[in-house]
Structures are given as C-alpha cells and as structure tokens.
Amino acid sequence: MAGTITAIEPQQRSITPRRGGGGQRFNVFVDGRYALSLDASLAVQLRLEQELDDATLASLVQADEQRRALDAAYTLLSYRPRSAREITTRLQQKGYSPEAIAATRARLDAFGLVDDAAFARYWVEQRQTFRPRGAAALRHELRAKGVGAPDIAAALPPAEGEHDAAYRAALPRARSLARLDRPTFRRRLGAYLQRRGFSYAASAAAVDRLWSEVTDE
C-alpha cells in the first residue's frame, strides 16, 4: 500500500507498557487509510507527508515482527530462564516467521540471555530444592527442553547428591506409609522414588534410612 503518510496515531490500548518490554504502538495511515501498526521505536522514524514505497513498507512490517518476537521472548524470560528450544518453540506457536525467530535468537544469544548450560544448572537446582527428582527424570526433562547431553551431564548432581534428594523426596511419603509392614513399605516407597527417576541404589538407601526413622523398628 504505497503512498503518503497522512497520520500516525497511538493505539489507546498500548499506552501502558506491557510486561516483558513491549511498549506503545502506533497506527500508520497512508493516503487517509489505515496501513499498518508499528512499535514506537519504528514509528518514531516516520513523519507526516513521507512517501512510502512497497519495499519500505515491507521492510517496516518485517522489522516490526522482529520487534514483537523479541518482546515475546523477553516476556518468556521474565518468568524464568528458558532453553533455546523453549524460546524457539514458543515463538513458533505464536506464529512468528522463521526469519523473526532467527533474528530474536541471534539478539538473545548476543546478550547471553539464552544459555542452555546455565539453564540446565538452574533447572536441576530448582528441582532439587523444591521437587527433588532423580538423575533419570532430570535427564529426560532436560532432553525434552532441547538441552544437549554434555550440558545435561555437567548439571546433574553427583551420586551422593541423588541419595540426599531421594531421601528428601521420600520423607513426606514415608510418614504416610509408616503403619505398613516392612515389605509393603519398601515396595511402595521404592516404587514411588523410582517413578521420580531415582536410581535403584538411591531409592534403596532412602527406603532403608526412612524405615528406621519413621517406624519403631
């Protein structure tokens, strides 16, 4: 829609900045008709009575999509760290073009905002603190988020760390099973831990320790 810019008006619903970096947007009118909306950082480059050809309009549309994709990525990162695959997948789900996603990934990488090794460490630390999981479960979760094997291996806790996590994960459950006989206690609590990705060795050690702690034997 080539022509002359006749108006540049702020969108009323976008005056208040959005969480994650998105800000005010402007509607651009060409020859008296609505042509497109742009982020403020792009709209400020335009002026009334400026001539726009088709190539310039296409360039503005592309730049605006890249800006919106970047804002969407910032919003995702404002809640918690993300893996590279998570960012790409969420932007794909929102309908952004491969070019906009690639530009966003490059910008995030340039500022060190997406780092799979750091993300893996964060994920393991959060799990071990709030919802303990075994190495197998952690490995599966991180693979699903696109983290590579070397970064996963570096983030996983050592064997003694898994034993401690198994104990902490099993403690609430063990208290609810304290009235059972020993074979049933061992079977149920061991299965509970192994479903959470703990190794047989870590599960067995936690079960034995908890049996002696929560029962009179």
Q: What is the pTM of this model?
A: 0.78
**Domain extent at residue 170:** 116-214
Q: Which of 55, 89, 110 is the last residue of a domain?
A: 110
User: Of 27, 42, 31, 39, which is closest to residue 6 (Cα–Cα)?
Assistant: 31
Provide φ and ψ at 45, rounded to 5°. Answer: -85, -10
Q: In this structure, how many other beta carbons lie within 10 angstroms of the beta carbon of residue 170?
A: 25
Q: What is the pLDDT of residue 216?
A: 66
Q: Which of 79, 155, 71, 89 is nearest to 116 (CA)?
A: 155
The single-letter code of the amino acid at 126 is Q
Q: What is the pLDDT of residue 143?
A: 97
Residues 20 and 87 in one domain: yes
Shared domain check, 127 and 145 = yes
Same domain, 12 and 103: yes
Residues 123 and 177 in one domain: yes
Q: Tell me the sheet residues that pair with 29.
A: 7, 34
Domain boundary among 91, 110, 129: 110
Does 102 lie in the same domain as 67?
A: yes
Low-confidence ranges of the chain (pLDDT < 70): 13-22, 216-217
Domains contained in the chain, number: 2
Model pLDDT for residues 170-184, shown as the tens digit of each residue: 999 999 999 999 999
Give long-range contacts, CB 8 A cutoff, 24+ apart: 179-187: 182/211, 182/215, 182/217, 185/211, 185/215, 186/211
For residue 25, give the CATH number of its domain. Answer: 1.10.10.10
| CB contact at 8 A, 96 and 69 | yes
